[in-house]
Chains A and B, each alone.
Chain A
Amino acid sequence: MAEELVHFELVSPEKLVISRKLEMVVVPGSEGDFGVLPRHAPFISTLRMGVVNMYEAGKVSDSYFVAGGFAEVTEERCTVLAERAVPVTEIDQAAVEKELIEAKADLENADTDQEKAKAQDRVATAEMMLTLSNAKAGHA
């Protein structure tokens, strides 16, 4: 029998980002990262902010930054509904830095709790993306 693969789908509200077959995928669940191999027990989880790593031929072939969302795993597929999905290699450091400054300013100017929560989210997202982008720069 041919080698089994996981049918992985990454979907953002705007579009279907990825749909392909992989050996393994590691997803940042809200209660810890989890790896999905073929014939994984079916389950549904919420996600925290983090990186989705796709494994092909024994190593990471692609990684995407996701800003929270949901994952659904069944025996043969893994579907990630991400609020935002950006390839780690395409994070624009300058843009993120700008966003971080803006978000921090918004956080200070926020009047309502709602605005505050939204700005807080943006700060956290930008900070995480910046860390990733720095790590990438360090590797290169």
Chain B
Amino acid sequence: MPSLKSLKNRIASVKSTRKITSAMKMVAGAKLRRAEEQANAARPYAERMERMLGELSASLAGQQGAPKLMAGTGKDDVQLLVVCTADRGLCGGFNASIVKEVRRKITELESAGKTVKLFCIGRKGRDMLRRDHHDKIVGSLEDVAKPALTFDKADDVARIILEMYEQGAFDVCIVYYNLFKSAMTQIVTPQQLIPFAPPAKAEGAGEDAGTLKAMYDFEPSEEGILSALLPRNLSVQIFRSMLESAASEQGARMTAMDNATRNAGDMIDNLSLTYNRTRQAVITSELIEIISGAEAV
């Protein structure tokens, strides 16, 4: 049986852990709200850009000489996976689940005879993937959310990726990120960035939009706009993944810390019970000693 002293120490240490985890939960909660707001604020831009691209790609459909970003290189031998993770741990399965999915994809692609390259956004993902896919990592970025997640950062990533694409370093680019559903659930989502896949049109809207599209004028030209819009779209998509990922991270951390706080509470209850029982046993045995001592006299 553990001594009273050591029990007391353990209770004290679990109590201080609980304080830390509950503070972290509150910090994550506040950050989550901010991240969610930012993600919501960025949505209109992405939506409108998608709409514009949809119209453009429809008017260009079937024509020759579409930009390479849209048409692709015609093969899919080399695939670049962009992995969005957090810089820090203590957020439950957030990083592990995305890395697991990426590992699965790597195995799948490799068994199909493709080459895989990795670009990591976030320190944790890089560290975890470095262990067994060290040779595949072609670039990584850390501290994207410090001091704040800005569009410029996403733009930088997009520039790097574009440059690699122009040099023919890969054929297909897919980004993996955690889609923020709620504080409890985040969904690992793969999204193809290059070649650009136009969003599937909602039913019913197709016909209606079709008649409108025929009437659009373009300045300077369809190709001109498209070649300006596509790289822009890449930045926007990356920015969106980063925002979603940031919100998911805080959500995951909040949930994880909530669980940890609750577990610490349970543990304190159990330990206090053991502590009190031990204390009673000690008193009883002391009493017995005194009484039996007195009887012997």
Please determine whether chains A and B interact with each other in the same assembly.
yes
CB-based contact A70/B212 at 8 Å: no
When the two chains form the complex, which single residue of A13, A72, A79 contacts B151, counting CB atoms closer than 8 Å?
A13
Tell me the complex Cα distance, A12–B44, Å. 9
B235 neighbours in A (Cβ, 8 Å): 13
At the interface with chain B, which of A37-45, A57-65, A86-94? A37-45
CB-based contact B228/A70 at 8 Å: yes
CB-based contact A41/B48 at 8 Å: no
Interface assignment of A2: CB less than 8 Å from any CB of chain B = no
Contacts between the two chains (Cβ within 8 Å), count: 78
Q: Which residue among A14, A45, A74, A79 has the maximum number of chain B CB atoms within 10 Å of its CB? A: A14
Task: Tell me the nearest residue of chain B to A16, going by C-beta.
Answer: B44
When the two chains form the complex, which single residue of B41, B49, B225 contacts A46, counting CB atoms closer than 8 Å?
B225
Task: Say yes or no: A45-B219 contact (C-beta < 8 A), given A14-B42, A15-B41, A72-B48.
Answer: yes
A1-34: CB near B (< 8 Å → 1, else 0) gives 0000000010111111000000000000111000
Task: Say yes or no: A12-B220 contact (C-beta < 8 A), given A44-B225, A46-B225, A114-B159.
Answer: no
Which residues of A are at the interface with B, using a C-beta cutoff of 8 A?
9, 11-16, 29-31, 41-46, 70, 72, 74, 79, 81, 83, 114
Which residues of B are at the interface with A, using a C-beta cutoff of 8 A?
38, 41-42, 44-45, 48-49, 51-52, 55-56, 150-151, 154, 159, 163, 212, 215-220, 224-225, 228-229, 232, 235-236, 239
| 28 contacting pairs across A/B (C-beta < 8 A) | A9-B44, A11-B45, A12-B45, A13-B45, A13-B151, A13-B235, A14-B150, A15-B45, A16-B45, A29-B219, A30-B219, A31-B219, A42-B215, A42-B216, A43-B217, A43-B219, A44-B217, A44-B219, A45-B218, A45-B219, A46-B220, A46-B224, A70-B225, A70-B232, A72-B51, A72-B52, A81-B48, A114-B163
8 A-B pairs closest in CB distance: A43-B217, A15-B41, A45-B219, A13-B151, A16-B44, A11-B45, A13-B45, A42-B216
Q: A30-B220, A74-B212 are in contact. List 7 more A-B contacts (CB 8 A).
A: A9-B48, A11-B45, A42-B215, A45-B219, A46-B224, A70-B49, A81-B49
